[in-house]
Amino acid sequence: MVIASSLLATATKSMAEEVTFKIAATTDVHGNFFPYDFISLQSGNGSLARVATRVKMLRDSLGESKVILLDNGDILQGQPTAYYYNFIDTVTPHVAARMLNFMGYDAETVGNHDVETGHAVYDRYKRTLGKIPLLGANVIDVSTGKPYLTPYTIIERDGIRIAVLGLITPAIPAWLPENLWDGLKFEDMVESASRWVPDIIENEKPDLLVGLFHSGHDSSKMTGEWRENASLLVAEQVPGFDIIFMGHDHQIYDSEKQCDSNPDLLILNPANNAVNLAEAQVTFELIDGKVTSKRINGEIVPITNLEPDSAFMTEFKPEYDRILEFVTRKIGRATGDFSVRDAYFGPSAFMQLLHSLQLDITGADISFAAPLSFDAVIKEGDLKMSDMFTLYKYENMLYTMALTGQEIKDYLEMSYSLWTDIMKSDKDHLLLFADDEHGASKGDYSKLRNPSYNFDSAAGIRYTVDVTKPRGKKINIISMEDGTPFDYDKTYTVAINSYRGNGGGDLLTKGAGIAHDKLKSHIIKSTDKDLRFYLIKEIEKRHTISPEVIHNWEFVPASLTHPATERDRHLLFGD
Domain total of the chain? 2
Q: What's the per-residue H, E or C state across 521-567?
A: HHEEEECCCCHHHHHHHHHHHHCEECCCCCCCEEEECHHHHHHHHHH
Instruction: Report the chain's mean pLDDT, rounded to a whole number.
Output: 93
Task: Say whether pLDDT at 223 is over 80.
Answer: yes
- Domain endpoint, select from 324, 352, 373: 324
pTM over 0.85? The answer is yes
Region of poorest pLDDT, from 210-214, 234-238, 421-425, 449-453: 449-453
Residues 338 and 419 in one domain: yes
Residues 224 and 368 in one domain: no
Residue 482's domain comprises 329-573
Label residue 574 by pLDDT band (50, 70, 90).
confident
Region of poorest pLDDT, from 6-10, 193-197, 287-291, 571-575: 6-10
Label residue 8 by pLDDT band (50, 70, 90).
very low
Contacts of 140-143 with CB under 8 Å at 24 or more apart are: 140/184, 140/185, 140/186, 140/187, 141/183, 141/184, 142/183, 142/184, 142/185, 143/183
Predicted pLDDT at 11: 42
CA 299-110-237 angle, to 5 degrees, is 65
Segment 120-131 mean pLDDT: 96
Task: Say whether pLDDT at 106 is over 60.
Answer: yes
Q: What is the pLDDT of residues 23-57, one digit of tens each?
A: 999 999 999 999 999 999 999 999 999 999 999 99
Instruction: Round to whole Å and give the CA distance between 328 and 331.
Output: 9
Q: What is the pLDDT of residues 404-453, one digit of tens each?
A: 999 999 999 999 999 999 999 999 999 999 886 665 555 556 689 999 99
Residues 134 and 257 in one domain: yes
Other beta carbons within 10 Å of 213: 34
Predicted pLDDT at 264: 81
Residues 531 and 474 in one domain: yes
What percent of the chain is modeled with pLDDT above 90? 88
Predicted pLDDT at 12: 46
- Domain endpoint, select from 324, 345, 374: 324
Region of poorest pLDDT, from 115-129, 437-451, 456-470: 437-451
Residues 216 and 134 in one domain: yes
Segment 211-230 mean pLDDT: 93
Instruction: Round to whole Å and give the CA distance between 231 and 551.
Output: 44
CA 30-46-136 angle, to 5 degrees, is 35
Predicted pLDDT at 10: 45
Q: What's the per-residue H, E or C state across 52-119?
A: HHHHHHHHHHHCHHHEEEEECCCCCCCCHHHHHHHHHCCCCCCHHHHHHHHHCCCEEECCHHHHCCCH
CATH number at residue 262: 3.60.21.10
Segment 85-93 mean pLDDT: 94
Residues 148 and 201 in one domain: yes
Residues 316 and 414 in one domain: no
CATH number at residue 535: 3.90.780.10
- Domain endpoint, select from 324, 345, 378: 324
Predicted pLDDT at 54: 98
Residues 299 and 441 in one domain: no
The residue count of the chain comes to 575
Residues 242 and 374 in one domain: no
Residues 209 and 263 in one domain: yes
Residues 263 and 333 in one domain: no
Task: Say whether pLDDT at 259 is over 80.
Answer: no
Predicted pLDDT at 261: 60
Write down the H helix ranges in 209-345. Answer: 231-237, 310-315, 317-327
Predicted pLDDT at 260: 60
Q: C-alpha 150: how far from its chain's center? A: 22
Residues 306 and 447 in one domain: no
Predicted pLDDT at 15: 67
Label residue 102 by pLDDT band (50, 70, 90).
very high
Closest CA to 134 of 143, 145, 123: 123
Helices 531-542, 349-362: crossing angle, 10 deg rounding: 100
**439 and 526 in contact (C-beta within 8 Å)?**
no
More confident residue, 77 or 538: 77
Predicted pLDDT at 9: 46
